[in-house]
Amino acid sequence: MSISLKDKIARLDANRRARIEEQAKQLHAEYLTLRELRKAKELTQVQLAKTLGIRQATVAQMEKRSDLMLSTLRSYVEAMGGKLKLSVEFPDHEALVLTGLRDTEDLKAAKEA
């Protein structure tokens, strides 16, 4: 007879179960999708679309994509009141935050100047 994961976890020591649940929460928080991020901020696609000046359908498409431009992702995050930071991690080094990345609008303005 097989044992479900729920039953297996229920049989664990309370301290171990708490550590596992805490780690699961941390992992979930680190890997939120855009949709989950928007919902965590209690925003609808319509509200976000209005802030971004785009259609709701465009927000829905953004949330389904896995290959957004950084400028698009930055706009999405900033429309929710956040700030996007991009970091790089190497096995032998602490995480490095990349700075100086411009929006495509900034690049366009710089070329025109």
Six token digits for residue 44: 């609808």
More confident residue, 105 or 51: 51
Per the DSSP assignment, residues forming a β-bridge with 93 are 90
At 34-91, the pLDDT tens digits run 998 899 889 999 999 999 999 999 999 999 887 889 889 999 999 999 999 889 999 9
Count of Cβ atoms closer than 10 Å to residue 64 Cβ: 10
- For residues 109 and 84, give the distance between their C-alpha atoms in angstroms, rounded to a whole number: 21
Residue 68 CB-density burial (10 A; 0-12 exposed, 13-18 middle, 19+ buried):
middle
Q: Residue 107: its pLDDT value, please?
A: 46
